[in-house]
Amino acid sequence: MDYEKIFRAYDIRGIYPNEINENFAYELGKALATFFSGKKRRVVIGNDVRLSSESLKNSLINGLIENGYNVFDLGIVPTPIVAFATKLLKAKFGVTVSASHNPKEWNGFIINDSNCLTVGLNFGLEKIKEIMQNKNFINSKRKGKVEKFNIEGEYINFLKSKFNFESNLKIIIDAGNGSASELLPKILKIYNKGNNIELFCRFDGNFPNRDPEPKKENLSKLIEKVLIEKADVGFAYDGDADRVVIIDDRGDVLLSHQILSLLLQSYGDKIKNKKVIIDVLSSIAAIEEIKKYKAKPLITKVGRSYIQNEMFKNKAFLGAEISYHFYFKEVFYLDDSIFLTLKILEFLTKTNKKISELIRDVPTYFYESKRIEIKEEMKFKFIEILKDEFKEYSIEELDGIKVWLDNESWIAIRASNTEPKISITYESKKEKRFEELKQISEKLIEKIKKL
């Protein structure tokens, strides 16, 4: 078992059954029971729709109950709801069996602690890995038990405590056959009395209609439906429903910083002087929008565990990643895509405006991001090699390297936390400078291909 490969920055992920299988899940259960040892032995478990998820979950549960843990099994639920249930049920931790947006052959485990924060590397995951590698498991004389638990009612009641509006909009939802497929339509019927049109809202671990990762190239059916139906908005969710991509009334895919701007606008005066966490790949426009609404931007590494922990430490109000994860202090710092959906619908209802109007003045600069395949063992070494090449420029090393050619132009090169890939991202306010960055990126890609 290649632990270095499957234990990633903020979760555990690999191809089933070659890299992750039932025996691994069973031993992970034992390792988690060892890491989270103590008097309170209560854990929440959920899973996504992947074909291997149920079997992996059962093996994980066996490892936990054999070591004295009582398990609440939520069944198929979005990843943020597992963390929500951890808080509600006063559990010691939670685990979602999911590989999030990865292709269907993958699976994995996303772990959260009692504060709903992701247990990633540098936040405890490295210790769990060490326990598994050394087979240093505790043995409990007391056996735990498993209980099926339906969290749906409690979650809906929580949303009702946060939202009190009734919209009359035409919306299209594309659940991608993932974890949001059944719960989301039920919730939307409570709040939107207009027309809720569903695409791919049926559980299917084969993901027959599109890839679990919602991106422009696989959202053609949603975009077409928005335009044909003259809908107010379209929403597309990833495999475990912790991300959402928004299509506006013109059929355009909103950029991450445009969604962030909508959120900032929706909070009005409440956002003033509040801290907003964004990642190192965020557009210059994101920083400008945060400042425009009198909030305070803070920059951190890419990834759920880094964003959440920075939010928790700084008591930040909002968090946003370029990858369409949005985090809310109101929901225990979770990237809850259903909460985000309701927040946008509430704002559209309040303003009685189209999204295209609301984002009209949000700047968009020349921005491009590429992900290049690289040998897993080379991806971090490649970043180190580049530091010398760019030494004459201003370099930030918070996450990979971010090179500033001037105060309006940058290129960032970082190793993916979840795949054997290098991401190259660059942005400039000036088209000419952007073309220079593009040439630099092409030279870097050629170097990667020769490795």
Q: Could you give the residue numbers annotated as active site?
A: 100
* Residue 212 per-residue DSSP state: S
Backbone angles phi, psi at 126, to 5 degrees: -65, -30
Distance from C-alpha of 123 to C-alpha of 105, rounded to nearest angstrom? 27
Q: Is 426 helix (H, G, I), strand (E, B) or coil?
A: strand
Chain-centroid distance of CA 313 in Å reads: 19
**Which has the closest alpha carbon to 290: 248, 267, 261, 319?**
261
437 Cβ partners below 8 Å, 6+ apart? 405, 409, 410, 411, 426, 427, 428
E strand residue ranges, 229-295: 233-237, 244-247, 275-279
**Which has the closest alpha carbon to 265: 171, 194, 344?**
344
**Which has the closest alpha carbon to 113: 94, 98, 127?**
94
Whether residue 286 contacts residue 367, with contact meaning beta carbons closer than 8 Å, is answered with: no
Output the CA angle 97-243-353, nearest 5 degrees: 155
Q: Which burial class, exposed, middle or buried, applies to 153 when counting CB atoms under 10 A from its CB (0-12, 13-18, 19+)? A: exposed
Q: What stretches of 125-167 show up as alpha helix (H) in DSSP?
A: 125-134, 152-162
Tokens for 442, please give them: 């092409």
Whether residue 280 contacts residue 404, with contact meaning beta carbons closer than 8 Å, is answered with: no
Tokens for 339, please give them: 């909460």
Distance from C-alpha of 158 to C-alpha of 248, rounded to nearest angstrom? 28
Distance from C-alpha of 292 to C-alpha of 363, rounded to nearest angstrom? 12
Q: Give the DSSP letter string of 66-107.
A: TTT-EEEEEEE--HHHHHHHHHHTT-SEEEEE--TTS-TTEE
Tokens for 75, please give them: 């069944």
- Give CA separation, 186 vs 95, 171, 177, 182, 338, in Å: 24, 14, 15, 7, 11
Whether residue 103 has a cis bond before it, omega within 30° of 0:
no
